Homo-oligomer: A and B are copies of this chain.
Amino acid sequence: WDEPIIFELSQPGRRGVAVPEPGAPAVELPESVRRERAPKLPEMSQPHVLRHYLRLSQENLGFDLNIDVGQGTCTMKYSPKVNDGFAKAIADLHPRQPEDSVQGVLEIYARMESMLAEISGMSRVSLQPGSGSAAIYANIAMIRAYHAANGEGHRDQVITTIFSHPSNAACAKTAGYEVITLMPNADGQPDIEALRAAVGPRTAALMITNPEDTGIFNPRIKEFVDLVHSVGGLACYDQANANGILGITRARDAGFDLCHFNLHKTFSTPHMCGGPAAGASGVSEALAPFLPGPVVEAHDGRFILKYPEKSVGKIRPFLGVTQNIVRAYAWIMALGGDGLRTVAETAALNNNYLMHKILQIPGASAPWGRRRIEQARYSWQQLSEETGVHSEEIGVRAADFGVHYWTSHHPYLVPEPFTLEPTESYSKEDLDEYAAILAHVAEEARRDPEFVKGAPYNQTVHKIDMTSLDDPDQWAPTWRAYVRKHLSGKG
C-alpha cells in the first residue's frame, strides 16, 4: 500500500461515527472556555477510516507474523489468542466499582500475586506498575521510603551495571539518586572489585539485571548482594531477563530485597507496539509496608483493597493494567510449575542452538564465552571491518526477507551489536531460517556492501534520511508542524 497521511484523506462533511443527540437543553459556554476554531481533524466515513488503519496494520510486523527473535532482551513470545478473550471480558469494568462487584478481578490479582511470589521467592508483589520501567521506578520509590523510614535518608547513591536496562540508571536519577555504573570485567561480568570500591554509607541500593543482556548469568551474584547488604544497602533485581530461569533460580534465594518482572516479556502479554504493558514489583517482608497502594488482600473469604501502612502511594491510577494481569494469569495457569520450567529450559536450548548457528556465519561473533541462558549479544565487528557494512544496515536488509532485528543496544560496549532472544515460542525450523537469512545477508555484504547499505528494497518505504529529525528548524513531530515547515502552511 502507498497509504497517505490521514489528513490527506479528509473531505469536508464526512464522519466515521455519529454521536447521540443531547436530548436535553444545550448549555451556553462562556466565551473564556468556548472553543473558537474547530480542530482540523480528518473528516472521513467509517469504511475509509477502517481501510486506512487496516492498511497501516499490514505495513507492520507483529510477533504473530514473523520470527521475532531479533528484539533481543524484549522476550518476544507467543501471547495466546485465548487470553485476549479474557482480557476483553473485563473491558467494561470500572476501577471504582465496589469491591464486592469485582471479586473475580480481585481474586485474579490475589492469585497472580501469590504465584509471582512463589516464582521469585518474595513475600509480596504489587502489580500496579504499567511497565518494567515503572516497576523499576516503584522499586526505587520503595527503597527511598524504606531508608527514610529507617532514618537513613542520607543514602543518595544507587549502583547499577552498564548492561542493566537504562531505566535502572534513569529512574534512580529521576528519583534523586546519584548513579554509579559498574563496567564489565574481562569475562563480561560486572566487576565485583568495582562494586567493592563503590559501596559505602551512601549506598541506597544495587539495581542489577541477571543474566544481563549478554545472556550470561553472573555466578557471583550472591556475593554482590551480600556486599551491598553489608553496608546497609538494598539489593534490587531487574528480572526483565527471567525467561530462562523460571523454576531454576529465584531472586529472594540470592538474597535480593526487591525484584521486578515484565509481564509483557516473561509472562506473555502482548507488546502492543510498546505498551500498555505490565510490571510486577516483588519485595521481601521488610519492604512490604512500602508497596504502592492499594494492594489486594483476602479477608473473610472476600477480596478487599487495602493501603499498606507506609505505602509510597500511587504509581499509576488504580490497580494496574488489569487486562494484562488477566492474560498473564491465564498464561501461567495454562503451564503450571512444570510448564514454566519447560519454558525456561526450552528458551535456553533455543538460544544456545541459535548461537551455534549464528557463530557459523563468517564475520559474526559473540564475546565472552560459550554457553548462555536465554539470549546473546552478538557482534558483526569482523564483518563490518571487512565490508564497511554496519550492524544496523544488516538488520534493515534482513527485513527484506521478512525478519528483522533491533539495533538500539546502547551502550555499544559490544561493537556492531545485535541481540537475539529466541524464547520458547520458536521451532527449530524457525531458528534455522532466521540464521540462514542472516548468513545470506552477511554474504551479500561481502559481495556487494553498497547494496546492503542501500536497503531496504522490499518495504513500504525506502532508506530514510534521519538527519532532519535532529534539526529544530526541520523536524516535524506533527502534521501541523510539517505543513508549516515543509509545505509552506498549505496542508
For A48, list chain B residues within 8 Å (CB). 427
Within 8 Å of chain B (Cβ to Cβ): is A11?
yes
User: Given that A55-B65, A402-B1 are contacting pairs, would A81 and B50 also be in contact in the complex, using a CB cutoff of 8 Å?
Assistant: yes
Give A412-432 interface residues, CB cut-off 8 Å to B. 425, 427-429
- Return the contact of A50 from the options B1, B55, B64 (Cβ within 8 A): B64
Give A1-45 interface residues, CB cut-off 8 Å to B. 1, 9, 11, 14, 45
User: Given that A51-B64, A64-B51, A65-B55 are contacting pairs, would A46 and B429 also be in contact in the complex, using a CB cutoff of 8 Å?
Assistant: no
Within 8 Å of chain B (Cβ to Cβ): is A184?
no
Within 8 Å of chain B (Cβ to Cβ): is A482?
no
**Is there an interface contact between A11 and B427, defined as CB atoms closer than 8 Å?**
yes
- Return the contact of A54 from the options B46, B50, B54, B64 (Cβ within 8 A): B64
Write the chain B residue with the least CB distance to A48. Answer: B427
**Is there an interface contact between B11 and A45, defined as CB atoms closer than 8 Å?**
no
Within 8 Å of chain B (Cβ to Cβ): is A294?
no
For A65, list chain B residues within 8 Å (CB). 51, 54-55, 58
> Whole-angstrom distance from the CB of A88 to the nearest CB of chain B?
10
For A406, list chain B residues within 8 Å (CB). none
> Whole-angstrom distance from the CB of A238 to the nearest CB of chain B?
27
> Whole-angstrom distance from the CB of A338 to the nearest CB of chain B?
14
For A66, list chain B residues within 8 Å (CB). 51
- Return the contact of A46 from the options B11, B50, B55, B80 (Cβ within 8 A): B80
Write the chain B residue with the least CB distance to A425. Answer: B47
**Is there an interface contact between A47 and B11, defined as CB atoms closer than 8 Å?**
no
> Whole-angstrom distance from the CB of A431 to the nearest CB of chain B?
13
Within 8 Å of chain B (Cβ to Cβ): is A78?
yes
- Return the contact of A47 from the options B46, B50, B51, B64 (Cβ within 8 A): B64
For A402, list chain B residues within 8 Å (CB). 1
Provide the bound-state CA to CA distance between A47 and B81, in Å: 9
> Whole-angstrom distance from the CB of A439 to the nearest CB of chain B?
18
Provide the bound-state CA to CA distance between A65 and B9, in Å: 15
> Whole-angstrom distance from the CB of A118 to the nearest CB of chain B?
24
Write the chain B residue with the least CB distance to A44. Answer: B427
Provide the bound-state CA to CA distance between A54 and B61, in Å: 11
**Is there an interface contact between B78 and A47, defined as CB atoms closer than 8 Å?**
yes
For A81, list chain B residues within 8 Å (CB). 50
> Whole-angstrom distance from the CB of A110 to the nearest CB of chain B?
26
> Whole-angstrom distance from the CB of A101 to the nearest CB of chain B?
22
**Is there an interface contact between B46 and A78, defined as CB atoms closer than 8 Å?**
yes
Provide the bound-state CA to CA distance between A427 and B14, in Å: 10
- Return the contact of A58 from the options B51, B58, B78 (Cβ within 8 A): B58
Write the chain B residue with the least CB distance to A80. Answer: B46
Residues in chain A within 8 A of chain B (CB atoms): 1, 9, 11, 14, 45-48, 50-51, 54-55, 58, 64-66, 78, 80-81, 402, 425, 427-429
- 19 A-B residue pairs with CB within 8 Å: A9-B429, A11-B427, A11-B428, A11-B429, A14-B427, A45-B427, A46-B78, A46-B80, A47-B78, A47-B425, A50-B64, A51-B64, A51-B65, A51-B66, A54-B64, A54-B65, A55-B65, A58-B58, A58-B65
